[in-house]
Structure 1
Amino acid sequence: MSTNYPIEIGLLLYPEAQLSAVLGMTDLLELANRFAVPQAESTGKAIRVSHWRQETSEALPSRVFDTMPEKDGSPSVLVVPPSLGEPATPEIAAPYSDWLRRHHAAGGTLASVCAGAFVLAETGLLDGRVATTHWLYEEQFQSRFPKVHLDVDRLIIDDGDLITAGGAMAWTDLGLKLLDRFLGPNIMVKTARILLVDPPGREQRFYSVFSPKLLHGDAAILKVQHWLQETEAKDIALGKLASISGLQERTFQRRFHKATGMTTSEYCQRLRVGRAREFLQFSRLSVESVAWEVGYQDPASFRKVFARIVGLPPGEYRQRFAAG
């Protein structure tokens, strides 16, 4: 698809699509045109925004809104926005799958935000690819689309022809990413400054809360998970955990990993780091004291584990997210 003036970005109005994201992204892209249009004669580039809706069950989606209705052409990018409620069911997503696949086959880019990834994944195009969605939907998404390599730590994954963004407000990140691609970094940064938003580079794990898998059906492992939650993972000795489960150590390790997707060490680290985040946000304890409170005797080890899981060192996390 051509990237000559104008570059069209289409937004899909499927049932329960979050209109605030659709309109917000439209405004973001239109704002960028204040910088781009005066240069369009020389650069040949500006942004055209269109909205697409399926008017009847038999019809294909059609353009129902257009910022440049006098222009011909088709979208270079089609974006599936977040859902206002729960992620779209297969029945809701199915009518759009062939249309999205044809757009992709013709050379177009597909993108999704938050639960919009469920509509995009129904096309099968994400199979074998790395994608993200809101961290709250991790287990549900993996259950429905096991062939997709899901990475909910990342806020946005730009895989060239397929782009997925995490949380519901990640439409700002996606919009800026598209501006960077089509209009260049200068216009992207100018737009971000006007809107007082960070340029792309955030990660979803800065904001996500560890949500352990509890619906796996293994009562012995669930018993251990509840005990770890109650005791804040202060005692994580393998023998102790196996004893609580009533299983032999090797059997316990195997079943724990199968049920939770993690080793006991990784699981307990995430519980401890979750507690540490609360201390860093809502207390004045030093980082060393926080480390001690959550079960680390070596502050250096705590800092290393915290940065690996959260993506920021404890001090920087506190500066960014401390309450008051």
Structure 2
Amino acid sequence: MTTAADLCAEVGLVIFPDCQLSAVYGLTDVFRIAGEMSASRAEGGKAHAIRVSHWQLSADGGEVVCSYDSHPGQPHRLTYLITPPSLIVPSRMQPMGNLTDWLASRHAAGTTLVSVCAGAFLVAETGLLDGRPATTHWAFAAELARRYPSIRVDSSRMVIDDGDIVTAGGILAWTDLGLTLVARHLGPTIMLDTARFLLIDPPGRMQQPYGGFVDRRDHGDAAILKAQLWMHGNGARDHAIPELAEIAGLGERTFQRRFQKATGMKATEYAQQIRIERAREALELTRKPVEQVAWDVGYGDPSAFRRIFQRITGLAPADYRRRFGLMQREAAGPAGGATP
């Protein structure tokens, strides 16, 4: 039987309405497997395990209770509390005042708060992320920054470890997070054994290459929407401010101010996003040379295209194709070699 001395950490997983239960149970499995890996390598020495507990509001919503414990019968000493992803967008998540108050009280008692994806919104509600760097799903980053402007949102990173608060990016970033905690408490060898057994990559990825263009069209400004649709219609090949302002029926200064307010970016930045999104698709689905892709999406200078593409995606076009290109994968044989 595992004793308190054998436990190197306790990870509490927070269950809330519409949270991603696969993340909750997946992390539970990661820590269990890591503990078994630790035991298999002990060879008569001391094996350690990570205790996992699940926490949620009681039926009446009045208190937070433990609904699962991998090592019952011992007092809880929560090292981490993880708020998992949500299956619904942040704007539809329910208020959880008692839960966020409990998170804040646990943090004050020394527990490290950890979030994955939209779980960052629960931690942000405590006020403990104010003035700190944090990440979330790239599609929710603008909403997190808008709702909590004092947070330094950086959605390019998969995991941001700020000591007593750790945030992780998109929905499946829980795998990176889980392995990071395994490495911290059971060592890198156990972490790599666990990753190999589960067929998942070790932590260290960036979220930026997975991101996409979050196109805001629900802002209610009909004049700006008209310009946006025109830009999409021609692939943003023509995006001169005077012409866009004329299409919107606005003066140039008014157009630029309202465009940034409505979309969250300048018209030139918006045009770049449209072009790069089309370039991504071409690199994923065709074998066209990078220079041809650049020309097709409106860049006469391939060097300029490469610089802008890498700035937005975090990868050079050729590297992006190697990672995400479907045509390239189809050209590989069963063992990863080229087909005849």
Match for residue 248 of structure 1 among 248, 251, 254: 251
Match for residue 29 of structure 1 among 28, 31, 52: 31
Q: Tell me: CA distance 1:89–1:278, structure 2 relative to 1, closer, same or farther (3 Å).
A: closer
Name the SS for the 1:73 alignment partner.
Answer: coil
In 1, the alpha carbon distance for the partners of 2:146 and 2:251 equals 29
Q: Show CA shifts across 1:130-182 (max 9, x none).
A: 22222333444344333333233332222221112222211111111212322
Q: How far is the alpha carbon of 1:301 from its aligned partner?
A: 1.2
Name the SS for the 1:6 alignment partner.
Answer: strand
Structure 1 partner of 2:333: none
Q: How far is the alpha carbon of 1:41 from its aligned partner?
A: 8.5
What does 1:27-66 correspond to in 2, within 5 Å? 27-37=29-39, 38-39=41-42, 45-57=48-60, 59-66=62-69
Structure 2 partner of 1:237: 240
Letter in 2 for 1:179: V
Q: Tell me: CA distance 1:263–1:257, structure 2 relative to 1, closer, same or farther (3 Å).
A: same
Name the SS for the 2:96 alignment partner.
Answer: helix
In 2, the alpha carbon distance for the partners of 1:87 and 1:253 equals 29
Name the SS for the 1:115 alignment partner.
Answer: helix
In 1, the alpha carbon distance for the partners of 2:65 and 2:209 equals 38
In 2, the alpha carbon distance for the partners of 1:91 and 1:195 equals 33
Match for residue 267 of structure 2 among 249, 259, 264: 264
Structure 2 partner of 1:197: 200
Match for residue 305 of structure 1 among 308, 321, 325: 308
Structure 2 partner of 1:277: 280
Q: Show CA shifts across 1:157-214 (max 9, x none).
A: 2222111222221111111121232223232222222222122222222222201222
Provide the TM-score with structure 2 as the length reference: 0.86
Q: How far is the alpha carbon of 1:120 from its aligned partner?
A: 1.8
In 1, the alpha carbon distance for the partners of 2:19 and 2:233 equals 39
- Name the count of aligned residue pairs: 323
Match for residue 179 of structure 1 among 178, 182, 188: 182
State whether residues 8 and 185 of structure 2, in contact with CA within 8 Å, keep that contact through their aligned partners in structure 1.
Answer: no
Q: How far is the alpha carbon of 1:284 from its aligned partner?
A: 1.2
State whether residues 40 and 46 of structure 1, in contact with CA within 8 Å, keep that contact through their aligned partners in structure 2.
Answer: no
In 2, the alpha carbon distance for the partners of 1:245 and 1:284 equals 37
Structure 1 partner of 2:168: 165
Q: Tell me: CA distance 1:187–1:259, structure 2 relative to 1, closer, same or farther (3 Å).
A: same
> Percent identical across equivalent pairs?
50
Letter in 2 for 1:208: G
Name the SS for the 1:197 alignment partner.
Answer: coil
Name the SS for the 1:33 alignment partner.
Answer: helix
In 2, the alpha carbon distance for the partners of 1:203 and 1:175 equals 16
Name the SS for the 1:301 alignment partner.
Answer: helix
Q: Tell me: CA distance 1:5–1:121, structure 2 relative to 1, closer, same or farther (3 Å).
A: same
Higher mean alpha-carbon deviation, 3-12 vs 103-112, is at 3-12
Structure 1 partner of 2:227: 224
Q: How far is the alpha carbon of 1:43 from its aligned partner?
A: 6.8
Name the SS for the 1:62 alignment partner.
Answer: strand
Letter in 2 for 1:68: H
State whether residues 82 and 168 of structure 1, in contact with CA within 8 Å, keep that contact through their aligned partners in structure 2.
Answer: yes
Letter in 1 for 2:26: G
Q: Show CA shifts across 1:223-278 (max 9, x none).
A: 21111111101112222222222333333222222222222222211111100000
In 2, the alpha carbon distance for the partners of 1:281 and 1:316 equals 11
5+ long unaligned stretches in structure 2: 331-340
Structure 1 partner of 2:336: none
In 2, the alpha carbon distance for the partners of 1:299 and 1:205 equals 22
Name the SS for the 1:233 alignment partner.
Answer: coil
In 1, the alpha carbon distance for the partners of 2:74 and 2:217 equals 53
Name the SS for the 2:77 alignment partner.
Answer: coil
In 2, the alpha carbon distance for the partners of 1:222 and 1:40 equals 66
In 1, the alpha carbon distance for the partners of 2:6 and 2:251 equals 65
